[in-house]
Amino acid sequence: MQKNQSVTAVVFSEDRKQVLLIKRRDVPVWVLPGGGIEKDETLENATLREVLEETGYTTKIYRKVGEYTPINKLSKFTHLYECEIISGKAAISDETREVNFFDIENLPKLIPPPYPEWIDDANKNEKSLIKRELKSVNYLSLIKNLFLHPILVIRFLMTKVGLTINS
């Protein structure tokens, strides 16, 4: 698997009114669980592993929602999967400081792009695979957020060069 690819999972409550989010340790914002793909790991196994590591839940893949192509160096080519919980309980990890379900209509304020877009895409429950560019992850958005949340953006940029603060 290519180094510049990642996986992300959307996990809805049974009634599809809530979505599972994690609050990261390195950049304390709410995001969908996901991450990198290890050598010789399938996309599906990477998705299930990341959800388990970051949330404490064992899941199964319901469907692949989409493939998102970056337009700059701020993001990676991302495979988005919808998963269902089969066992486990919410648990924090070295990567997560909180795990919680949120109402789709009332997501936390600190949820960066493209996560709201991905939640909407998965919630549409379309049969065909979505393939599009990640236009919401752009330099203008980064600059805007630098003024609104300077510490978060600095921490995000630090992760891009391999420096993380896991507080």
The CATH code of the domain that includes 14 is 3.90.79.10
> Domain residues for 52?
5-160
Nearest Cα to Cα of residue 96 among 25, 26, 31: 25
- Report yes or no on 165 lying in a domain: no
> For the segment 55-112, what is each residue's pLDDT rounded down to a tens digit?
999 999 999 999 999 999 888 999 999 999 999 999 999 999 999 999 999 999 889 9
- Report yes or no on 167 lying in a domain: no
- Report yes or no on 166 lying in a domain: no
155 pLDDT tier (thresholds 50, 70, 90): confident
Q: Beta strands of the chain (E only): which ranges?
A: 5-11, 18-24, 30-31, 34-36, 57-70, 77-88, 96-103, 130-134
27 pLDDT tier (thresholds 50, 70, 90): confident
The total number of structural domains in the chain stands at 1
- Report yes or no on 127 lying in a domain: yes
- Report yes or no on 149 lying in a domain: yes
Who has greater pLDDT, 130 or 145?
Answer: 130
- Report yes or no on 41 lying in a domain: yes
pTM of the model: 0.89
